[in-house]
Amino acid sequence: MKYAPVRKAVFPVAGLGTRFLPATKSIPKEMLPIVDKPLIQYAVEEAVEAGIETLVFVVNHKKMAILEHFDEDADLQSHLLVQGKHDLHAQIRDIIPSSVSTAHVIQEEALGLGHAVWCAKSLVGDEPFAVLLADDLIRSPATGCLKQMVDAYRATGVGSIGVEKIPAAMTDRYGIVSVQADAKGRDYIHAIVEKPAPDVAPSRLGVVGRYILPGEIFGLLESVRAGVGGEIQLTDAIAALLENEQLLAHAFEGIRYDCGSRQGFIRATVDYALGHDDLRDSLLEYFATLV
């Protein structure tokens, strides 16, 4: 059976990035680089790999650098060609394939993730779509996390949420889901709650920043009241969605780096740097001097 394809991906990138101040006073946190690419580019590349055709950025007025990063820069491309730096030219030219389009919408106030996703309603419409949070950098051994989720959607017609098992003491930092497995071993989400205390958390499956959601979520977001932290929580709209719709819990293959924290950002930088042939040996030699 064929299902409506997942063609659009929403990137909520209007947050203030206060954990990285003062760096993020003028630089969007999504533009902070892991080695030589900004966080947002890793997320965009993951979406493109998954077959996404339209990238929708939810930004604020101070985050136009994100949009500029994906715009064509003819002067820079020309300069690189003149300098004979063809590899760099190809990297700049091919950040987004010509077959993929971009769009953006302004989130006037930082009212939470749910509100940020709702802001994309006019650009997404009523079709299924993906949401990617660039803070969650996921390094997969073969197939990217979103591609894994899109493949599952094509097989089942059911949306999904990326999850991973977290320490019990950290449930109050995540949305938490409880699941029920079907006969084929697929985990369907039974319930979801935002940042529960460890003693009342329904499981240790924490939500990470990857979603495939039906267009119906927009109508639910319109009726959601401010929840935890005084913000409009996407989790609350998903909880309402589960009353009539199924969603899968996708335990992705790969390693997630919480790049919304300084520790996670540094770990990602080190691990990705060690994956570069021109950096690995010198870094390992340096690390040896620190032990």
Q: CATH number, domain at 51?
A: 3.90.550.10
Counted domains in the chain:
1
The overall average pLDDT reported for the chain is 89
The residue-averaged pLDDT of 252-271 equals: 95
Question: Among the ranges 58-62, 193-197, 205-209, which has the highest mean pLDDT value?
Answer: 205-209
At 221 the pLDDT is: 93
pLDDT band at 23 (very low <50, low <70, confident <90, very high): confident
The number of C-alpha atoms within 13 Å of 205 and in the hemisphere containing its C-beta is: 21
pLDDT at 235 over 70: yes
| Domain assignment present for 189 | yes
Q: Give how far the C-alpha of residue 291 lies from the chain's centroid of Cα atoms, to the nearest Å.
A: 34
The residue-averaged pLDDT of 60-83 equals: 77
The residue-averaged pLDDT of 259-280 equals: 95
pLDDT band at 48 (very low <50, low <70, confident <90, very high): very high
227: Cβ contacts below 8 Å, ≥ 6 apart: 112, 194, 233, 235, 236
Spell out the SS3 assignment of 269-288.
Answer: HHHHHHCCHHHHHHHHHHHH
pLDDT at 73 over 80: no
The residue range of the domain holding 269 is 8-290
Percentage, residues of the chain above pLDDT 90: 66
At 169 the pLDDT is: 92
pLDDT at 230 over 70: no
State if pTM tops 0.85: yes
| Domain assignment present for 2 | no
Q: Omega into 22 within 30° of 0, i.e. cis? A: yes
| E strand intervals along 124-170 | 129-132, 136-139, 159-165
pLDDT band at 97 (very low <50, low <70, confident <90, very high): confident
201 phi, psi to nearest 5 deg: -65, 135
At 15 the pLDDT is: 81
CA separation for the pair 51, 6 (Å, rounded)? 8
pLDDT at 10 over 90: yes
**Widest CA span in the chain:** 63
| Domain assignment present for 1 | no
pLDDT at 228 over 60: no
| Domain assignment present for 3 | no
Least trusted range by pLDDT, from 45-49, 90-94, 159-163, 170-174: 90-94
